[in-house]
Each structure stands twice: as structure tokens, then as C-alpha cells.
């Protein structure tokens, strides 16, 4: 009996792994241009060198370091140079190198994700990806064709060098495991269309659900709890109480709630949704939106990821999802 169970487990496991590999076939095309800038600020020779870097990297200067106005650029550059040339930057640099000894791995994962997207999209997305150590100035900035990443935000959880301006329940997601999914969520969020005139919670839930679903398809070998930003324990809690959560939303008429104070309790960052229970983590309405969108895509298998991004009829998605957990 034990052998039969073991063989069945191995068969299911191997099939699962094979499906993951089949859905993630390496594409020879260059979908991104990866630019490793992690060494650029290490041991800055002078402020002039830093200014030269900013001048030759306008996108980083404008969107990542937010140097937009000529009148305050000198003061801003002085602040940034002080941040990147202080005595602690060397230690931060070493910490990043320990956690990310080869950033080409990150570039390869992003290239594979963009390959998966571009296979079925009309508009091919081929961004430049700049990875640098920002001294905790910024984590991620995106434009239509550029992704800038302050990789120092994503060092290991137990690293002594972590940003101090974030609460623990958010900081838990700033680790190497969450890096690629966070980058992709930030990048594709700018293409995610929703009905901005509709103020219902369900509309916002579906918008987040679309984004999470798309990222899960782009990196199918990444665990779903990572994509949605939950720990294993948090994920187990919400998955095991799915029917209860759905019933809570129905009984409290939350789907079509328009009061921002009430909506924020369920869709915004919080350590817990205490209205449900102290065990249920924040952003739970986004998770429920992902469940609804997943049901919709099961019933609309021919719909491309790009067309899902552009679909703003949230009631169509809701109705065609046939979502109703047992």
C-alpha cells in the first residue's frame, strides 16, 4: 500500500514539474535588456563621477532618483551622493552581493516571463531592466519601456541592513523570493485597465485579481502565495477558510461597497483583517479578486493575457467566473 502511494505521489509530482517546465520553455529571443549597475556606486571616486552617471542615465535620474526640477537638482544630488558614499554603503554592497551573487539569474527570469507574455500579445513588451544598489532610496520605478530596481530593498529577511521606514508585515515581502514577482507586478500594473468611474470594491478586487493572475501565468513555477505576497502560514489560513471568507463578503454586502473607509479595511495593506479574524492577513479582497479572475479564465481559455489586462468590464468577469466556493 505504501509503495502504491509513493509511486502515485512521484507520478503526480513529476507531472506537475513537467507541466511547469513545459509552460516555461526558454525563449531564445532577447525580450529584455538587462543592465547590472550594482557596482556603479561602490567606492564613488567623486561627486563629479556621480553627476556624470546621472547625466548619462536620464531615465534613472528622472524616474528612480526623482530629479525632475532644475532648481532643486543640486540639493537633491548632494543628498543622494551623501547617501551613496557614506561609510555604511560598503557593508550594504557586500550584503547585496552575498544575497545576489549573480543578478543575471534575475534577468533570465524576467526575460522568460516577458517571453511568455509576448508569445500571445499584440504589443510586445521589451523593457530595459536596470538593477542598482540605491542605499534604500527607492525600490522599483517603472515606465512603459524601463524597469529600475533598487535591489538592496530585497536582501534576506534576517539581514541587518533593511529599510527602516516599512512595517514588518510589508517588509516580510522584501526578500529575494519576492523580487521577480514584485518587479513584474509593478511593471504590468501600468497596463492594467479598470473602470475608474466605478467606486465599488468588486471593481478594485477584479483589477488586482487580473494582475495577480497574469503574473502567475508568466512565472508558473513560482508559488502562488509568493505572487500574492503571503507567507506559507497566511496562505494556508486563507485557502482553508475560502468559503467562510466568501460568505463573510456576501453577508456584509461588501462586493458593491463604495465607502472608502470600509473598502480599505479589506483591500489595503494591514497586518490583519480583524473584522474577519486576527488570523486573516491584509489585502484579502485582492486574493478574492484573484480567485474570481481565475474562475473567469478557466471559462475563457482562449483569452490572451493582454486582452485580460485591457478588459475593464468587471461585472462580465464576475458573472462569467461562476465563482462560488463550496
| 179 shares its domain with 271 | no
Counting every residue written for the chain, the total comes to 326
Please report, in angstroms and rounded to a whole number, the separation of the first and last CA atoms in the chain: 31
Residues 169 and 231 in one domain: no
Do 133 and 230 fall into the same domain?
no
- Name the domain boundary from 162, 189, 216: 189
Cell numbers for 252: 456584509
Does residue 196 form part of some domain? no
Is the residue at 23 inside a domain?
no
In terms of pTM, does the model score above 0.85?
A: yes
159 lies in the same domain as 273 = no
What is the residue range of 310's domain?
Answer: 201-321
313 and 216 together in one domain: yes
Tell whether 2 is covered by a domain.
no
Residues 255 and 285 in one domain: yes
Q: Are residues 163 and 209 in the same domain?
A: no
Q: Are residues 108 and 59 in the same domain?
A: yes
Residue 8 lies in a domain: no
Among 132, 165, 189, give the residue marking a domain's end: 189
The reply to whether 65 falls in a domain is: yes
Distance CA 261, CA 263 (A): 6
- pLDDT tens digits in sequence order for the chain, 326 residues long: 333 333 333 333 334 444 564 444 444 578 999 999 999 998 788 899 999 999 999 999 999 999 986 656 888 899 999 989 888 899 999 999 999 999 999 999 999 999 999 999 999 999 999 999 999 999 999 999 999 999 999 999 888 888 888 899 999 999 999 999 999 999 999 999 999 999 999 999 999 999 999 999 999 999 999 999 999 999 999 999 999 999 999 999 999 999 999 999 999 999 999 999 999 999 999 999 999 999 999 999 999 999 999 999 999 999 999 999 97
pLDDT at 222: 96
Domain count, the chain: 2
What's the CA gap between 81 and 307, in Å, rounded?
43
Asked if residue 107 is part of any domain, the answer here is: yes
Instruction: Quote the DSSP letter at residue 100.
Output: -
Query: Domain check: are 299 and 178 in the same one?
Result: no
Same domain, 274 and 307: yes
CA distance 205 to 289: 4
Task: Give the orientation angle of helix 284-298 with respect to helix 260-267, to 10 degrees.
Answer: 80
249 and 147 in one domain? no
- Domain assignment present for residue 96? The answer is yes
Q: Which residues does 286 contact at the CB level (< 8 Å), separation at least 6?
A: 205, 208, 209, 212, 228, 267
If asked whether residues 288 and 219 sit together in one domain, one would say: yes
- What pLDDT does 52 receive? 92
- Is residue 217 included in any domain, yes or no? yes
Last residue of a domain, one of 143, 166, 189: 189
Amino acid at each position: 500500500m505504501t509503495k502504491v502511494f509513493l509511486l502515485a505521489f512521484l507520478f503526480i509530482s513529476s507531472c506537475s514539474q513537467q507541466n511547469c517546465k513545459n509552460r516555461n520553455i526558454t525563449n531564445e529571443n532577447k525580450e529584455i535588456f538587462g543592465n547590472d549597475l550594482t557596482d556603479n556606486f561602490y567606492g564613488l571616486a567623486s561627486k563629479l563621477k556621480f553627476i556624470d552617471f546621472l547625466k548619462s542615465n536620464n531615465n534613472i535620474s528622472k524616474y528612480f532618483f526623482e530629479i525632475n526640477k532644475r532648481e532643486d537638482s543640486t540639493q537633491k544630488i548632494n543628498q543622494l551622493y551623501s547617501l551613496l558614499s557614506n561609510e555604511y554603503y560598503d557593508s550594504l554592497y557586500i550584503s547585496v552581493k552575498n544575497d545576489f551573487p549573480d543578478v543575471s539569474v534575475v534577468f533570465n527570469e524576467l526575460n522568460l516571463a516577458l517571453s511568455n507574455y509576448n508569445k500571445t500579445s499584440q504589443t510586445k513588451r521589451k523593457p530595459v531592466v536596470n538593477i542598482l544598489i540605491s542605499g534604500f532610496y527607492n525600490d522599483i520605478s517603472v515606465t512603459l519601456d524601463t524597469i529600475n530596481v533598487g535591489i538592496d530593498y530585497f536582501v534576506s529577511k534576517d539581514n541587518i541592513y533593511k529599510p527602516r521606514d516599512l512595517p514588518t508585515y510589508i517588509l516580510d515581502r522584501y526578500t529575494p523570493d519576492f523580487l521577480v514577482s514584485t518587479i513584474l507586478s509593478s511593471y504590468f500594473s501600468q497596463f492594467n485597465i479598470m473602470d475608474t468611474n466605478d467606486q465599488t470594491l468588486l471593481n478594485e478586487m477584479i483589477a488586482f485579481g487580473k494582475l495577480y493572475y497574469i503574473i502567475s501565468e508568466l512565472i508558473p513555477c513560482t508559488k502562488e502565495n509568493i505572487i500574492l505576497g503571503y507567507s506559507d502560514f497566511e496562505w494556508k489560513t486563507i485557502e482553508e477558510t475560502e468559503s467562510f471568507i466568501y460568505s463573510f463578503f456576501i453577508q456584509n454586502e461588501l462586493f458593491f461597497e463604495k465607502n472608502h473607509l470600509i473598502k480599505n479595511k479589506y483591500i489595503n495593506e494591514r497586518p490583519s483583517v480583524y473584522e474577519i479574524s486576527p488570523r486573516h492577513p491584509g489585502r484579502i479582497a485582492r486574493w478574492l479578486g484573484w480567485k474570481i479572475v481565475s474562475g473567469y479564465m478557466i471559462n475563457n481559455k482562449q483569452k490572451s493575457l493582454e486582452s485580460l489586462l485591457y478588459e475593464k468590464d468587471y461585472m462580465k468577469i464576475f458573472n462569467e467566473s461562476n465563482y462560488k466556493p463550496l
